[in-house]
Chains A and B, each alone.
Chain A
């Protein structure tokens, strides 16, 4: 079955804009916010959201990257993963409202690892979760606060997120994974 496009570039931008507004609304403004992306594509999304937050509110919002590889519970089940850099904003995360950003929310295991990773770095006041796509099939009691698009999927389907900064083009597709 060929890949079916579920979001175009404009849809992605619209979704991120809406998420940004929702973040500001729930946080009652930009104060104390830190946006952390989970590599690889979550980092790109986080920096876009950070820019949007600044654009809307007129206040710069710090952003960073949080690698969770070393905190995963499935290291022994997959080929060795090479960790990506973790970059914390200058002000750190202690006492902040951290918004975690990932491209696709699936089992929830990545987010569990991210919560552990945050715990080893500092103690935020609040941690929220934003995701471009929520495809369901959670294996842990984890729930997103901000969702770009809910995309019910079968477990044998694959979601592909392409972003300009990494892939040179931009869309989200869904396809049946080859056996």
Chain B
């Protein structure tokens, strides 16, 4: 793998390799010295055109645990026009000697443009681009699911037979897209639940099942229910009438939580809107994997950085 731009490009074998390497990285978290020398002397640049403290510190922790040097480059609010900014910034980073670029950008496809541009000859890791993909989030979700299901025997396994229901703003969600590709590649079945306004046109051609009715979806006893953050401003663009109606019909409240089996996982990529798409009871229940997801995020990002930057390809 030269870059990690989307989960759509990942084969089943590549996906499992990343999860397996992340298992090794997770072990390190329990050690006396939580640091590995693997990327000593490498420089990882976190190039964030959008604010995302959570994702940035996760990548930063991952790079530092692998002994890489980290440069945080916040390009948000730059006065140059966006297009010039990406090219100029990339060339600046190349001149600084970045060995890998972790990019978060508001424009879908910006990581791909950077990887294809020739402006910089370093692996590019997509940390979320517009409404396109967020591959490390999907990988950490898959990792979390696999660990909950298989514990210490997770290595080498896929997600064959696992059912995952993803609820919310699919249309604008890069997390939903990355998960749809990765989870189905790993053998899971994925169901989207949302009002029709929040589903992309052409969704019938995706490898997922689509339902409007959350109760019906939960009645099918999925192994995993993943709630997506709903942004309040969507209602101004008439995607739904108001937060109250959305929450009543598509929120995971305590009554719906009670419908779930005891071992059903409740996931959320964070940050959560408690009381809107997810109730406090659901967020804090033992079914919730929210904090595991955060911890696993560091392991997954360590695995990705290690796989991109070690080896002959990683210069």
**Which of A27-35, A79-87, A126-134, A141-149 sits within the interface?**
A79-87
Query: Cα distance A153–B110 when bound, in Å?
Result: 53
Residues from chain A with a CB closer than 8 A to the CB of B28 are 120
Q: Is B155 in contact with A120, judged by CB distance below 8 angstroms?
A: no
Which A residues from 120 to 164 make CB contacts under 8 A with B?
120-122
- Check B84 for interface membership: any CB of A closer than 8 A: no
**Which of B18-26, B72-80, B114-122, B215-223 sits within the interface?**
B18-26
Q: Quick one: which of B20, B23, B36, B155 contacts A70, CB cutoff 8 A?
A: B36
Q: How far is the CB of B62 from chain A (nearest CB, A)?
A: 13
Which A residues from 85 to 103 make CB contacts under 8 A with B?
85-86
- Check A58 for interface membership: any CB of B closer than 8 A: no
Q: Is A79 in contact with B36, judged by CB distance below 8 angstroms?
A: no
- Check B306 for interface membership: any CB of A closer than 8 A: yes
Q: Is A119 in contact with B311, judged by CB distance below 8 angstroms?
A: no
Mask for A60-76, Cβ within 8 A of B = 1, else 0?
00000001011110011
Residues from chain B with a CB closer than 8 A to the CB of A22 are none
Query: Cα distance A75–B67 when bound, in Å?
Result: 14
Query: Cα distance A116–B27 when bound, in Å?
Result: 16
Query: Cα distance A76–B23 when bound, in Å?
Result: 22
Please tell me the size bucket of the interface on B.
20 to 34
Residues from chain A with a CB closer than 8 A to the CB of B207 are none
Q: How far is the CB of B135 from chain A (nearest CB, A)?
A: 18
Q: Is A76 in contact with B33, judged by CB distance below 8 angstroms?
A: no
Q: Is B37 in contact with A116, judged by CB distance below 8 angstroms?
A: yes
- Check A78 for interface membership: any CB of B closer than 8 A: yes
Q: Is A76 in contact with B38, judged by CB distance below 8 angstroms?
A: no
Please tell me the size bucket of the interface on A.
20 to 34
Q: Is A83 in contact with B24, judged by CB distance below 8 angstroms?
A: yes
Residues from chain A with a CB closer than 8 A to the CB of B35 are 120
- Check B231 for interface membership: any CB of A closer than 8 A: no
Q: Is B21 in contact with A82, judged by CB distance below 8 angstroms?
A: yes
Query: Cα distance A71–B66 when bound, in Å?
Result: 10
Residues from chain B with a CB closer than 8 A to the CB of A80 are 306-307, 310-314
Q: Is A78 in contact with B32, judged by CB distance below 8 angstroms?
A: no
- Check B54 for interface membership: any CB of A closer than 8 A: no
**Which single residue of chain B is at the shortest CB-CB distance from A87?**
B27
**Which single residue of chain A is at the shortest CB-CB distance from B67?**
A70
Known contacts A75-B310, A75-B311: A120-B27 contact under CB 8 Å: no
**Which single residue of chain A is at the shortest CB-CB distance from B1?**
A80
Residues from chain B with a CB closer than 8 A to the CB of A82 are 17, 20-21
- Check B315 for interface membership: any CB of A closer than 8 A: yes
Q: Is A120 in contact with B31, judged by CB distance below 8 angstroms?
A: yes
Q: Is A85 in contact with B24, judged by CB distance below 8 angstroms?
A: yes
Residues from chain A with a CB closer than 8 A to the CB of B155 are 85
Q: Quick one: which of B27, B33, B307 contacts A86, CB cutoff 8 A?
A: B27
Q: Is B24 in contact with A79, judged by CB distance below 8 angstroms?
A: no
Q: Is B23 in contact with A85, judged by CB distance below 8 angstroms?
A: yes
Known contacts A85-B155, A121-B31: A67-B24 contact under CB 8 Å: yes
Query: Cα distance A108–B314 when bound, in Å?
Result: 24
Known contacts A82-B17, A85-B24, A85-B27: A71-B37 contact under CB 8 Å: yes
Q: How far is the CB of B304 from chain A (nearest CB, A)?
A: 12
Residues from chain A with a CB closer than 8 A to the CB of B306 are 70, 80
Q: Top 7 closest A-B pairs, CB basis?
A: A80-B311, A120-B33, A70-B36, A75-B310, A70-B38, A83-B24, A79-B311
> Chain B interface (Cβ within 8 Å of chain A)?
17, 20-21, 23-24, 27-28, 31-33, 35-38, 66, 155, 306-307, 310-315
13 extra A-B contacts, CB within 8 A, seeds A76-B312, A82-B21? A71-B37, A75-B311, A77-B312, A79-B311, A80-B311, A80-B312, A82-B17, A83-B24, A86-B24, A120-B36, A121-B31, A121-B32, A122-B32
> Chain A interface (Cβ within 8 Å of chain B)?
67, 69-72, 75-86, 116, 119-122
